Amino acid sequence: MTALNKSIEPGDSPDLTEERASGTFDTNAMAAVIYGSDKFAQRRREISEAISKIPELADSAPLPFLDRFGKVTEGSRKLSVILENIDKLIDPSSYEEGLHLYTEVMGMEGHPLALHEVMFIPALIAQASDEQQVKWLGRARRREIIGCYAQTEMGHGSNLRALETTATYSPETQEFILHSPTITSLKWWPGALGKSANWAVVVANLIIRDKNYGPHPFMVQLRDEDSHEPLPGITVGDIGPKMAFNGGDNGFLGFRNYRIPREYLLNRHAKVEADGRYVKPPHAKINHSAMIRVRSHMATGQGALLAHALVIAVRYSAVRRQGYLEDKSREVKVLDYQTQQHRLFPSIARAYAFIFCGFETIRLYDQLLIDVQNGNTSGMADLHALTSGLKSVVTYQTGEGIEQARMACGGHGYSMASYISEIYGVAIGGCTYEGENMVMLLQLGRYLVKSIEMIQNGKSRELGPMVAYLAENESEIDLNLGPNEYLKVFEYAARNQTWRATEKFQKLRNSGMSNEKAWNQASVELTRASRLHTRLYIMSTFINHVGSIVDQKVKGVLIDLLNVHVTYEVMDIGIYVQGLLSSNQMDLIRNQLYVSLETIRPNAVSLVDSFQISDMQLRSVLGRRDGNVYENLFKWAKSSPLNKTDVLPSVTQYLKPMMEKSKL
Ligand SMILES: CCCCCCC/C=C/C(=O)SCCNC(=O)CCNC(=O)[C@H](O)C(C)(C)COP(=O)(O)OP(=O)(O)OC[C@H]1O[C@@H](n2cnc3c(N)ncnc32)[C@H](O)[C@@H]1OP(=O)(O)O
Ligand SMILES: Cc1cc2nc3c(=O)[nH]c(=O)nc-3n(C[C@H](O)[C@H](O)[C@H](O)COP(=O)(O)OP(=O)(O)OC[C@H]3O[C@@H](n4cnc5c(N)ncnc54)[C@H](O)[C@@H]3O)c2cc1C
């Protein structure tokens, strides 16, 4: 009989083989659920296999041993190998296949095409007119040019309206003149801008005859296509090392009265006629679409990062033995400790939940893109509110989960051999990029307040399906709790908090305070409402997704995982449900959580194996598929550049003389 867990191979650590043998479901079938289809899950495996056959695609050294220069060079080197072999590796027209290829080969530390694929091309698709797409999109897709998305400035990121870069229209020459008037107006942070990109989508305030029409996207050539030297009028460079993404060249950019043709305003939606007449877009915020797209993809992306950390921590916890339970003759796998399970299993559930939730937001974005191309912008506000909350909650919880995974690996978790700190650095960047989390929670807060105001004005029927629960009365909770009852508990918490926060804001405003001051004084409560609303959404998409699964064994284990999720989440928001649940009921839920941790235990390794993250992609000694951690940890340490010689020059130059002097 073939094993249900497809990761078993001869030579593996017996501890991991034992774990895999206890799995109750087919990990390939689970991978099909995680990656949306059996076909794509299979393609991922094939792509990984094809990559492994091209030795030049392997890291030339463990990435943590490379310095910044080495990391940036390594990314470009591998990119050129990828492009030479691209047809052998993927269907180049598939975004998903490309993403898998890049993630596997490049790792997560950044590379010259990261922003090209994630923002530059999507911005062209959403914002360039048909003629502009003919001009640039093909070139971008063929990677004849490398692009980035340059919006944030040194002085402003969250508050777009305060960007200082201007694009002033000159009707005489039919050009826009891009200018950076101050130090703080320098573009600052855009990925791949520093050294790699030769073109950029630049967001600048459009000025026509002294009137500011707000931020608009412009296609701007930064560097000569032959020499790669910055063009006259452009100041560009790298912003230096960061917490993570050090294989990437996030950059700065300034303009000195830099002229571009009128046709370089991305003008699918807004236009400037030759005489300077402005043609308004169908929605004031349509220029934000590249951001909405990334935010829509963030739940899946962050779920995948959390998954990376959990693969490492769960596998390692199954081979790490420390201390005793009942059997005093052999130390126990640390995964058998309830505290370890409590640390890791709710995060496994969240990783699955985020990925499933991401399916939904990506689908909503793709639909919105079609609608907007057809002139229908009515879905923009809803998706903006939803993805604003979602990006904030998933990035924060992913960061929490990764950090717990690191601690769950003890001392070795702190070593770069675990690679978890790199994953953490990358993931936690998501709390900031695409809109700082508090700022984005408050965007959702605005939407929730407006929803409550609709209810107060007797317009409950006009509420969208995602906020309809705000108008409902709470019902009794039956504590023969199934997932749907937990959903009701969450609805109660989110509804109560949203009403309380809104009423606080309204009361302050009605007391004569300005709108802005009242908003600020209610803002912590509003962010709490936004988080609860978003967590409710995540839970409900998780429940719906599990309900739709056909494979009964896969569905069975996902129901077990859902039980971990709903009980953990409700315990976590206990303070918001005190008015609904008695302390006896809370105890009952707490016990259900502990039972669900035990239930999921035999499937823990199979659940993380199902993410099918190859060793190459994982880059972790602790998380290796074969579980042979210790001998490889020693090998890894020996490969440290510091161990190339027994006596370092720094010892000869400084420490030896110091010790010699002390002897006198
Ligand atoms: C391989 C991995 C690579 C990782 C890649 C990482 C790449 C990172 C890239 C970046 O970070 S790019 C830069 C991202 N920057 C931001 O996200 C900036 C955040 N700020 C904003 O998005 C906006 O400033 C804001 C906070 C949303 C406010 O918008 P605005 O400045 O336009 O404010 P107002 O004029 O006050 O308007 C508010 C009004 O508009 C509605 N609204 C805002 N955005 C949208 C939208 N996209 N769609 C629909 N509606 C929108 C908002 O809800 C308000 O509506 P009302 O409440 O007034 O009705
Ligand atoms: C790894 C990484 C990659 C990036 N890539 C790009 C890129 O490719 N292109 C690009 O253009 N940009 C990029 N950025 C920039 C990023 O989008 C901004 O840093 C982000 O939007 C936050 O803006 P800020 O840095 O100005 O923060 P600030 O707005 O200055 O935030 C500082 C603090 O002020 C608070 N705050 C600000 N406004 C409010 C408010 N209205 N209400 C309450 N609190 C508020 C915030 O919550 C935060 O605590 C990247 C950033 C990082 C970290």
Q: Is the pLDDT of residue 1 over 60?
A: no
* Whether 156 contacts 110, CB under 8 Å: no
Q: Give domain status of residue 413, yes or no.
A: yes
160-190 confidence digits (pLDDT tens)? 999 999 999 999 999 999 999 999 999 999 9
- Which of these, 521, 464, 524, 469, lies nearest to 494 by C-alpha position? 469
* Model confidence band, residue 3 (pLDDT cutoffs 50, 70, 90): confident
598-636 burial, b at 16+ Cβ within 10 Å, e below that, comes to: ebbbebbbbbbbbbbbbeebbbbbbbbbbbebeeebeeb
Shared-domain flag, residues 273 and 378: no
Instruction: Between 2 and 170, name the one with better pLDDT.
Output: 170
Query: Which CATH number characterizes residue 436's domain?
Result: 1.20.140.10
- Give me ligand 2 centre to Cα 432, in Å: 5
* Concatenated DSSP letters of 374-428: TT--TTHHHHHHHHHHHHHHHHHHHHHHHHHHHHHTHHHHHSTTT-HHHHHHHHH
Domain containing residue 395: 290-459+483-608
Query: Which CATH number characterizes residue 234's domain?
Result: 2.40.110.10
User: Across residues 17-22, what is the average pLDDT?
Assistant: 97
Shared-domain flag, residues 431 and 533: yes
**Mean pLDDT for all residues in the chain:** 96
* Model confidence band, residue 289 (pLDDT cutoffs 50, 70, 90): confident
User: Across residues 126-147, what is the average pLDDT?
Assistant: 97
Q: What is the pLDDT of residue 476?
A: 65
Ligand 2, CB cutoff 6 Å, lining residues: 115, 149-152, 156-158, 189-191, 245, 250, 429, 432-433, 435-436, 438-439, 442
Q: What is the pLDDT of residue 575?
A: 95
Residues 6 or more apart whose Cβ sits within 8 Å of residue 3? 20, 21
Q: Give domain status of residue 130, yes or no.
A: no
Shared-domain flag, residues 232 and 349: no
Active site residue 434: yes
Determine whether 438 is exposed, middle or buried from the number of CB atoms within 10 Å of its CB (0-12, 13-18, 19+). middle
Helix (H) or strand (E) holding 270: none
Q: Give domain status of residue 431, yes or no.
A: yes
d(CA 457, CA 460): 8
Orientation of helix 552-572 relative to helix 338-373, angle to 10° = 100
Shared-domain flag, residues 231 and 307: no
* Model confidence band, residue 482 (pLDDT cutoffs 50, 70, 90): confident
Residue 248 CA, closest ligand 1 atom number: 3
Q: For 434-459, give the secondary structure using H, E and C.
A: CCCHHHHHHHHHHHHHHHHHHHHCCC
| Token code pair at residue 546 | 């599990």
Q: What is the pLDDT of residue 272?
A: 98
What are 254's strand-pairing partners? 235
Q: Give domain status of residue 452, yes or no.
A: yes
Please give the share of the chain, as a percent, with pLDDT higher than 90: 95
d(CA 401, CA 393): 12
Q: Give domain status of residue 493, yes or no.
A: yes
* Model confidence band, residue 411 (pLDDT cutoffs 50, 70, 90): very high
Shared-domain flag, residues 169 and 197: yes
* Whether 311 contacts 401, CB under 8 Å: no
Shared-domain flag, residues 204 and 351: no
Instruction: Compute how many other C-beta atoms are within 10 angstroms of the C-beta atom of residue 44.
Output: 23
**Residue 152 counted as an annotated binding residue:** yes
Q: Is the pLDDT of residue 66 over 70?
A: yes
- Give me ligand 2 centre to Cα 157, in Å: 5
Q: What is the pLDDT of residue 118?
A: 93
Shared-domain flag, residues 259 and 323: no
Q: Give domain status of residue 57, yes or no.
A: no
Shared-domain flag, residues 331 and 410: yes
Q: Give domain status of residue 218, yes or no.
A: yes
Q: Give domain status of residue 222, yes or no.
A: yes
Look at the chain and report how many structural domains it folds into. Answer: 2
Shared-domain flag, residues 528 and 420: yes
Q: What is the pLDDT of residue 474?
A: 73
d(CA 644, CA 626): 28
| CA nearest ligand 1 atom 44, residue | 285
195-219 burial, b at 16+ Cβ within 10 Å, e below that, comes to: bbbbbbbbbbbbbbeeeeeebbbbb
Ligand nearest to the CA of 447: 1
